[in-house]
Amino acid sequence: MAEIAVVDDERVLVDSLELELEERGHTVQPFYRAAPFLEYIQFNEPDVVLLDLQLPDLNGLEVLERIKQANRFIPTIIITAHGNLDSAIQAMRGGAFDYVNKPFDLDEIEIIIDKALKEIKLVREVEHHRRQAAEGARPEDFIGSSLPVRRLLETVKKLSQVDNTTVLLRGESGTGKNLLAKMIHNLSARAERQFIEVNCAAIPETLLESELFGYEKGAFTDAKTRKTGLVELADGGTLFLDEVGDLPLPLQAKLLRFLESRSFRRIGGASEIKVDVLIISSTNQDLKKAVTRGQFREDLYYRLNVVPLDVPPLRQRGEDIITLAEHYLSHFSRKFRKPPIEMSPEARDAFLLYHWPGNVRELKNLVERLVILSTDNIITYEDLPAVMKETSARRQGVKHQETLEEGLEAKLAAYEKKLISEALERAGGVKSEAAKLLGVSRYSLLRKMKRLFGE
């Protein structure tokens, strides 16, 4: 079950709690003074602590502070006498999970312990999944060697030398902003700590504040216990605010205050909680325009935009399109246990000519579909979706027309240069005479010579 530390100077109470809790399957570590308990938590991590506020060698509030310094996620339940209720409330503000009044019923303690164990299990699962989500995000995972990508990755590597700043990733949906955020985290000194991602567009506005900052027990009707927010979970690591442009204005003000002080209050809380986090935000919006429209706070924009990184759209990355397509062809061929699949030259040209409004995400999904539906080891032009073929045909037509026009202009320019050179030779280099021979004004001849000869 759980390892529970009981810290109280009433031996009868501690002994009876030890007996009853062990009968219910828990392991109990009894302590009658603060000193041995504080030595114990230097090397051990109990699942729950039951702490009396009145100890012979140290005040319980100081002990609580030491617990939070050792591991802020160990839930601590305060045991208090009725006359010490103010101190219990103060302890809750200092991070205690809950409190129970003496004398108490063991079933009451068991209910509170169960709630504490469920919360700490959730916290650890969140940390585990967040760390897993950040794994594998290295510079080599951002596939491509185009100039915009090389410049972007050079800047990302420079950020690894900075411990605490604020980064804003700007770019269209599907360009890889999430991958870059995880990469920045993994290259930083915080790589071994948690990476907490908050999708500001996916969480309902009514829940977003409590998800970010948490709340205290009794803050509102359904707040039966204290909730730890994602900002607090990110302490020591990275907080990634995905699609930050979708934050409602009232929450923008609270986020600004947090960014300025790196501290916050839980909903219903009175005490300030300080955290040390690397802040990375992303947006697919033009935040400057949002500021002009009154949809985004100007002061928050400048606070987030300390280190802006522009993530290029796929259509600006040239041959990276083919590199990515070949990477995903190989990946999905292995995944779906198919022989290696290639693209025909016509299909490759169509990939290069397409504008990719959904960027890398669209390309990845398309390649997955093509691999699943393939009956041969080659993707042909006919296998591509209609929109790609239409775009390819239209752009190839435009390209052909441009080539014809460029060819005609080049031939006309060459012919004009030949005529002007012959006229100048016959006129002995006198430009006014050459103009008469050509049937144009001297001014017109000078303009043509400047255009054709650079004179």
Give the tens place of pLDDT for each residue, 94-132.
888 888 888 888 888 888 888 888 877 777 666 555 555
Q: What is the mean pLDDT of residues 183-212?
A: 89
Cα angle 395, 401, 406; round to 5: 125
Burial class (CB in 10 A: 0-12, 13-18, 19+), 8: buried
Sign of CA dihedral 126, 131, 136, 142: positive
* Residue % of the chain over a pLDDT of 90: 46
Cα angle 31, 33, 37; round to 5: 55
Q: What's the pLDDT at 437?
A: 79
Copy the structure tokens of residue 46: 């109990």
Tell me if 146 sits within 8 A of 311, measured CB to CB. no
Cis, bond preceding 56 (omega within 30 deg of 0): no
On the question of pLDDT at 93 being above 70, the answer is yes
On the question of pLDDT at 411 being above 90, the answer is no
- 228-242, 365-379, 390-404, 423-437, range with the lowest pLDDT: 390-404
Q: What is the mean pLDDT of residues 130-145?
A: 72
Burial class (CB in 10 A: 0-12, 13-18, 19+), 387: exposed
- What is the band of 350 on the pLDDT scale with cuts at 50, 70, 90? very high
On the question of pLDDT at 203 being above 70, the answer is yes
Residue 432 or 226, more confident: 432
Q: What is the mean pLDDT of residues 290-311?
A: 95
Q: What's the pLDDT at 216?
A: 83
On the question of pLDDT at 401 being above 80, the answer is no
Q: What's the pLDDT at 381?
A: 93
Residue 232: which residues within 8 A CB-CB, separation 6 or more?
Answer: 72, 213, 214, 273, 275
Q: What is the 3-state secondary structure (H, E, C) of 269-335?
A: CCCCEECCCEEEEEECCCHHHHHHCCCCCHHHHHHHCCEEEECCCHHHCCCHHHHHHHHHHHHHHHH
First-to-last alpha carbon distance for the chain, in angstroms, is 91
Sign of CA dihedral 200, 72, 277, 154: negative
- Between CA 397 and CA 390 the distance in angstroms is 11
On the question of pLDDT at 284 being above 80, the answer is yes
Domain 3-122 has CATH 3.40.50.2300: yes
Q: What's the pLDDT at 404?
A: 47
Q: What's the pLDDT at 326?
A: 96
On the question of pLDDT at 408 being above 60, the answer is no
Topology of domain 135-312, CATH = Rossmann fold (3.40.50)
Burial class (CB in 10 A: 0-12, 13-18, 19+), 338: middle
- 121-125, 264-268, 349-353, 400-404, range with the lowest pLDDT: 400-404
What is the residue whose two structure tokens read 């400048």?
302
On the question of pLDDT at 407 being above 70, the answer is no
- Per CATH, the number for 404-453 is 1.10.10
Q: What's the pLDDT at 79?
A: 87
Give the architecture-level CATH label for domain 316-384.
Orthogonal Bundle (1.10)
- Between CA 409 and CA 418 the distance in angstroms is 14
Mean pLDDT of the chain: 86
Q: What is the mean pLDDT of residues 168-188?
A: 94
Domains of the chain, by residue range, sit at 3-122, 135-312, 316-384, 404-453
On the question of pLDDT at 162 being above 90, the answer is no
**Sheet with 238-242: strands ordered across:** 195-199, 238-242, 278-283, 166-170, 307-310
- Between CA 268 and CA 180 the distance in angstroms is 35
Q: What's the pLDDT at 124?
A: 66
On the question of pLDDT at 156 being above 80, the answer is yes
Q: What's the pLDDT at 136?
A: 57
- What is the band of 400 on the pLDDT scale with cuts at 50, 70, 90? very low
- Between CA 30 and CA 88 the distance in angstroms is 21
Burial class (CB in 10 A: 0-12, 13-18, 19+), 434: buried
- What is the band of 298 on the pLDDT scale with cuts at 50, 70, 90? very high
Residue 310: which residues within 8 A CB-CB, separation 6 or more?
Answer: 152, 170, 171
Cα 430 to chain centroid, rounded:
70
On the question of pLDDT at 406 being above 60, the answer is no
Q: What is the mean pLDDT of residues 358-369?
A: 96
**Digit-coded pLDDT (tens) for 40-65:** 888 788 889 999 988 999 988 899 98
For residue 4, give Cα distances in angstroms to 43, 76, 118: 15, 10, 14
**Is the fold of 3-122 the same as that of 316-384?**
no
